[in-house]
Amino acid sequence: MAADLATVESTRDALAAVGYLADESASLVSYLAAQLGKPVLVEGPAGVGKTELAKALARATERKLVRLQCYEGLDEAKALYEWNYRKQLLRIQTEKGDAAWDEVQGDIFGPEFLLTRPLLQAIAAEEPVVLLIDEIDKTDQEFEAMLLEVLSDFQISIPEMGVVEASSMPLVLLTSNNSRELTEALKRRCLYLWLDYPTVERELEIVHLHTPDLDEHVARRLVEVVHMVRGLDLKKPPSIAESIDWARALMLLGADDIDEAVLKRTMSIIVKHRTDLDVVAERAGVKLTDGLIGRSQTG
Amino acid sequence: MPEPGPPGFPARVIDLADALRKEGMAVGTSELLDAFDALGHVSWTEQRDFKEALAATIAKSQEDRRVFDLVFDRFFFRAVEKEAVERGLIDQRFEGGDRLDMEELRERIREVVRQGSDGEMRDSARLAIAAFGRQGEGSGVIGVDVQRIRRSLDLKGESPNPGREPDPDSVPQDRLREFERHLRRELERGLIERTQSLPPAKPLSEFDRALPSGPLQDLAAVHRTVMLLKRRLATQGHEARGRKKGAVVDVRRTMRASLETGGVPVALRYRPKRPRRPELYVLCDVSTSVTSASVFFLSVLHALHDAFRKLRLFVFVERIAEVTDIFERERSFKEISHAIATEPGVADVSGYTDYGRVWLEFHDQIVDELDPRSTVIILGDARTNGREPQARAFARVSEHAGRTFWLNPEPKLYWNYGDSVMRAYEPFCDGVFECWTTKQLEQFVNALTDPHAVPPAVR
C-alpha cells in the first residue's frame, strides 16, 4: 500500500515503516518535496543516510528508484540518452541497395536504437518514479547546467525524434558530499536538507531497528563508543552504516559487553585507516579500562 | 488545510528576507516565492515546522543556515519569555541565602551537563547566563565570557591523564564542550538582542583570516583551520585523479574500438591525464621572524603528506637539518613542532638566518638527488641579515629541480626592503607566492598539485 505523504507526521511514519528513521527536518523536507514537486539537495558527511533516504522514499511511496551515479567526466551521453551507433551502422549495412533514405531514416532513428539513460528513463516512465542523482559534486558545471535544463522543464528534446515530456512528476533527490560548491542556479532550484550524524538516542533507535536482538546494554555502549570515536580527530569518522555493521558483528560474536579486548578485536569495523586505528586504540582502549564511559550512565 | 497566520505575516517574512540580505545572504525573489509556497503546506503555529520550511527554501548551505538561525531567532524569539526566566532566578537568589542557591544551581547544571538532553542544556545555559552573565560587566568578547561563566559554575572537564584519580565533580570533556557551545549561542543571542545587530562572523570559519601571530597557544586554532583545508584539498586530489578527457587521442585504442563498428572509428578514445604527485623537498625557515607562518605551513604539509609521493623536509636558520624522520615518526603535530624546535644543529652561534650558507649546504648535500620530477619549496622571508645571498648556488639548485617555489610569509610590499633579498632569488623560481593568509596557502597548494600545469621547459 503506497503511503500518501499528506502530512509531515505521515511522511515520518511512512519512512519509519520501511526502516528509515528520519529526523524532523528530513521528514519535513521530504513532505515539502512531495507536495511542491521541487527537487531536494541533500548534503552531509559520508554515510549518514543520504542515499538511503532516497531508497526509503522509493519504498515508502512504492515507486521505482532510478539512480544516476555521478562521476568526474559524466556527460550527456551517459546521463540522458545515446544512440546505439553500432546497431545503426549494422542496420544500414544490411539495407538493400535501393531503399529510400526516408525509410531507412525512420527506421534507424526509432526507439529500438535509442539507449535511454537514467534521466530519460525517469522522465519517460509511465508511472511516477524517484530519481536519485548521487554525488553530484563529482561532476562539473557543464553537467549541472544540462541538469538544470532538464529539471526545470521536465522534458528532453531529442533532435531526431522530437520532445519527450514527462507524463508524471518524478521525486528528485540530489546528494552531495560537499567537496565543491554547487552552482547557485542549481541550489536555488532545490530544497536544501543537511543530514548530520544523529544523536545518541536516535542512533540507538536505528541500531535497535536493524539488530533488534542485540542486548540493550551492549547497544548503548556501542553507540556511546561510536559517538566518542566521532569526536576524535580521524581521517574518516565512522558512519551510521558502520555502527550497524558493528552491532551485527557483536551480535554474531555473542558479546555481552564492550571491553578493551572486544573493542580491539572489532575496531576495524568502524575505523578504516591505519593511522585512525592507532588513535582510537590509544584513546578508547584507555578510556574503557577506566570504566569512564559506563560511569556516566550509572553514576 | 493549515490555518493561515495573522494578517501582515507575509510582510514579516519579507522583512526576514531583507534582514538576511543585509547579513550578506543571497535571497532571491524565486526563493521567497518557494518559501511562501512551502509555508502554505505547514502549520504556521508550529515553530519548528515553520522554521524548517523557511530554512529549506532559503538557506542553501551550512554557513547560510547558521546565519539564518541567528536572524530567525532575533526576529521571532520571545523576549518576554527570556525575561521571565531571568527574573524568576534573580528573585530566587535573593530569597534564601546566596550561597545555598548558588551551590544548588551549580549542582543542577553539572547534572544536566552530564546527562541532560539538548533542550535541557540550552535552558541551563540561559540560567547560567542569567545568574552569572551580568555580574560585573560582560567583557563583550564572547569567548572570555564563556570561560568566566564556566569558572563561576565550577565546571571542570575530566582529566585526560589516565593515571590520575578522576575528580567526582568533573564532567566528560565532550559534554562540557557541548555546554560551552550552548553558552556561546545564548550569549550571542543576548548580544543580538541588546545591540540589534549580528556579531562579527566567528573567525575560525573564515578562510581568509590572517595566520595566527602568536606561537604555540594558537596551535589549536591552526589545527582546526588545517583540518578544514585538508578536507577541501583531499577531495580536490580525488578530483584530479578522475577521468577528465585529455587532449591527446590515443590512436591505438581508437582503432581497436573501431572494430566494433566495422572499422569506422566512431568513438574516439583519449589518453588519460595522470595527476601530478610531486616529490617535495621543503626548506623551512624556523627563525623567530617566521615562526607562526612556518608552524602553519608545516602543519599543512603534515596533514597532506600522504598526497605526495616523497616528502623530505629540512629546517634551517643558519644551517640546515633534515627532519623528515620526525615527520614520519610523530603522529601528532604538537610533538612534531616541539621536536623541530629542539632539534640541535639548526641554529648556530648567532641565531640569525643566513640564506647563502643554507644554499651552499643544500647544494652540497642534496643536489644530486634532485631530478626533473622534484619540486623544491622554500618557506622564508629572504631576510638574510646582510650576509651574502649566494644567488648562484640557489640558481644551481633550481636548475636541477623540476620546479622551485618560494613562499614568503610577508606581504609583497615588504619584499626587498631592509635585508630582504627576494630580488636575488626571484628570477630562479618558477613561482613566488605570498602566504600570510590561509587562502593564499590554499592557492599555493592548488598550484602545487595541479595536474594540468604545463611542465617546465628543460633548462
Alpha-carbon distances of B207 from B227, B228, B438, B439, B445, rounded to whole Å: 12, 9, 6, 6, 14
**Cα–Cα distances in angstroms (integers) from residue A21 to residues A15, A24, A171, B83, in the given order:** 7, 10, 19, 37
Q: Judge contact between B295 and B222, C-beta under 8 A.
A: yes
Determine whether the interchain pair A36/B236 forms a contact, defined as Cβ–Cβ distance below 8 Å: no
Instruction: Give buried/exposed letters for A145-156 (b at 16+ CB in 10 A, else e).
Output: ebbeebbeebeb
* Main-chain phi, psi angles of A284, to 5 degrees: -70, -40
User: Are A69 and A134 in contact, with CB atoms under 8 Å apart?
Assistant: yes
For residue A84, give how far its alpha carbon lies from the nearest alpha carbon of chain B (Å): 11
The SS3 call for residue A13 is helix
Q: Which residues of B touch A12 (CB under 8 A)?
A: none
CA angle (A127, A131, A136) in 5-degree steps: 165
What residues in A contact B243, CB-CB < 8 Å?
71-73
B164 against A271, higher pLDDT: A271
**A130: which strand partners?**
A65, A171
Residue to test with chain A: of B32, B52, B115, most A Cβ within 10 A: B52
Position B341, amino acid: A
> 3-class DSSP state for residue B337?
helix
CB contact at 8 A, B352 and B317: yes
Out of A35, A179, A290, closest to residue B162 by CB: A290
What's the rounded Cα separation, in Å, for the pair A54 and A172? 9
Query: Which of B26, B48, B56 shows the shortest C-beta gap to A32?
Result: B56
Within a 13 Å sphere around the CA of B266, how many CA atoms are in the beta-carbon half? 14
CB contact under 8 A, A138 and B260: no
With vertex at residue A42, the alpha carbon angle to CA A41 and CA A46, rounded to the nearest 5 degrees, is 145
Quote the pLDDT of residue B204.
30
Report pLDDT for A299. Answer: 36
Sign of CA dihedral B366, B368, B373, B378: positive
Record the pTM. Answer: 0.61
CB B432 within 8 A of CB B403: no
Contacts with B245 from chain A: Cβ below 8 Å: 73
DSSP 8-state symbol, B420: B
d(CA B293, CA B306): 21
What's the sign of the alpha-carbon dihedral A235, A236, A237, A243? negative
Test the A interface: residue of B49, B63, B68, B113 with most A CBs within 10 Å: B49
Q: What are phi and psi of B418, to 5 degrees?
A: 65, -135
Closest Cα in chain B to A186: B60
Question: Which pLDDT belongs to residue B266?
Answer: 80
pLDDT reading at A247 higher than 50: yes
Q: Is residue B129 within 8 Å of residue B90, measured between CB atoms?
A: no
A8 contacts B244? CB cut-off 8 A: no
Per-residue pLDDT of chain B (459 residues; tens, 9 = 90+): 444 555 677 888 888 888 888 877 888 898 999 999 898 888 777 778 888 999 999 998 887 888 888 888 777 654 334 455 555 544 443 333 344 467 777 788 888 777 777 677 777 887 787 777 654 445 556 667 777 787 777 777 665 555 556 566 677 777 777 787 778 777 776 766 665 554 443 333 233 334 444 333 344 555 555 665 555 555 554 444 444 556 678 888 888 888 877 788 888 887 766 655 667 888 888 776 666 667 667 776 776 665 566 778 888 877 788 877 777 666 666 666 666 666 655 544 456 778 888 888 888 888 778 877 788 888 888 888 888 888 888 888 888 888 888 888 888 888 888 888 888 888 888 888 887 776 677 677 777 766 555 444 333
CB pairs under 8 A between A and B: 104
Taking the CA of residue A221 and the nearest CA in chain B, the distance in Å comes to 15
Q: Are the Cβ atoms of B239 and A72 closer than 8 angstroms?
A: yes
B22-79 pLDDT, tens digit each: 877 888 898 999 999 898 888 777 778 888 999 999 998 887 888 888 888 777 654 3
Chain A contacts of B228, Cβ < 8 Å? none
The minimal CB distance from B244 to the residues A29, A32, A72 is found for A72
Contact B52 A25 (CB under 8 A): yes
Q: Which residue has the higher pLDDT, A118 or B446?
A: A118
Q: What is the pLDDT of residue B423?
A: 86
Residues paired with residue A162 on neighbouring β-strands, in sequence order: A158
**Nearest to A208, CA basis, from A196, A195, A193, A218:** A218
Helix A200-210 to helix A216-231 angle (10° resolution) is 130
| Contact with chain B for residue A298, Cβ under 8 A | no
The yes/no answer to whether this complex scores an ipTM above 0.85 is no
Which grid cell sits at A124?
Answer: 519517460
Nearest CA in chain B to A6: B41
CB contact under 8 A, B158 and A187: no
Q: Is-contact A53 A92, C-beta < 8 A?
A: no
- DSSP of B200-215, one letter per residue? PPPGGG-SSPBPP-SS
Q: Which of B135, B133, B137 minimizes the C-alpha distance to B183?
A: B133
CA-nearest of A71, A31, A22 to A50 is A22
Inter-chain residue contact B52 with A35, CB threshold 8 Å: no
CA distances from B409 to B342, B381, B431 (A): 22, 6, 14
pLDDT value for B1 = 41
Quote the CA–CA distance of B24 and B441 in Å, as a whole number.
Answer: 25
Q: Which of A28, A190, A296 sits opposite B49 (nearest CB)?
A: A28
Contact A36 B42 (CB under 8 A): no
Instruction: Let me know how long chain B is.
Output: 459
Would you call B162 and A24 a contact, using CB atoms and an 8 Å cutoff? no
**DSSP helix/strand/coil, B26:** coil
Which chain B residue's Cα is nearest to A26?
B52
Look at B235 and A43 and tell me if their CB atoms are within 8 Å. no
CB contact under 8 Å between A28 and B59, yes or no, is: no
| pLDDT exceeds 90 at position A68 | yes
Q: Which residues of B touch A25 (CB under 8 A)?
A: 52, 55-56
Q: How far apart are the first and last CA of chain A?
A: 47
Question: What is the pLDDT at residue B214?
Answer: 37
Q: Is A73 in contact with B331 (Cβ distance < 8 A)?
A: no
Alpha-carbon span B12 to B32, nearest angstrom: 12
pLDDT of residue B242: 46
Residues of A in contact with B59 (CB under 8 A): 192
Contact A233 B227 (CB under 8 A): yes
Give the per-residue pLDDT at A132: 96
Q: Which residues of B touch A89 (CB under 8 A)?
A: 261-262, 264, 266
User: Binning pLDDT at 50, 70 and 90, where does residue A157 land?
Assistant: confident
Radius of gyration from C-alpha coordinates of chain B: 29
> By the 8 A CB rule, do A27 and A139 touch?
no
pLDDT at B224: 57
| A140-168 average pLDDT score | 87
CB atoms within 10 A of CB A76: 16
Question: Is B346 exposed, middle or buried (CB count within 10 Å of its CB: 0-12, 13-18, 19+)?
Answer: buried
* Nearest chain B CA: its distance from A252 CA (Å): 31
- Buried-exposed string B18-52: b where 16+ CB fall within 10 A, e elsewhere: ebbeeeebebeeebbebbebbbebbbbeeeebbbb
Q: Across the interface, which of B56, B115, B162 has its CB nearest the CB of A286?
A: B162
Element (H, E) at B370: none
**Cβ contact (<8 Å) for A89 and B264?**
yes
Tell me whether residues B261 and A85 touch, CB distance under 8 A. Answer: yes
By DSSP bridging, strand B431-434 and strand B403-408 are: parallel
Instruction: Tell me which residue of B443, B454, B456, B451 sits closest to B237, measured CA to CA.
Output: B451
